[in-house]
């Protein structure tokens, strides 16, 4: 970190912090492609869904992952450097 002193009274440190946000949205065909090594080619009735636990509007429900209901994954990365 860059540091300088002004008359021995004030000390300032300067750094840069970068946040990068990422987001990916997958539908059923995307997930099938990712899982193709695990799903037999002749499997015609593959259904991809997620269980929604109790406590909300969709509680205790299986939600199909398809073109209308996608799986959304997001994450952030942080990088601090001298600047």
- Any alpha helices (H) in 18-82, and if so which ranges? 28-34
> For residue range 1-45, what is the model confidence (pLDDT) as tens digits?
555 555 667 777 788 889 999 999 999 889 888 988 888 877 777
Q: How far is CA 64 from CA 5, 37, 54, 70, in A?
A: 61, 21, 17, 9
> For residue range 47-79, what is the model confidence (pLDDT) as tens digits?
888 888 887 787 888 888 989 889 999 999 998
């Amino acid at each position: 970190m860059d540091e300088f002193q002004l008359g021995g009274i004030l000390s300032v440190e300067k750094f840069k912090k970068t946040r990068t946000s990422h987001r990916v949205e997958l539908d059923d065909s995307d997930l099938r492609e990712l899982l193709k090594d695990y799903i037999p080619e002749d499997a015609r009735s593959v259904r991809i869904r997620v269980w929604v636990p109790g406590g909300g509007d969709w509680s205790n429900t299986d939600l199909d992952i398809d073109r209308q209901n996608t799986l959304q994954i997001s994450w952030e990365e942080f990088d601090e450097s001298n600047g």
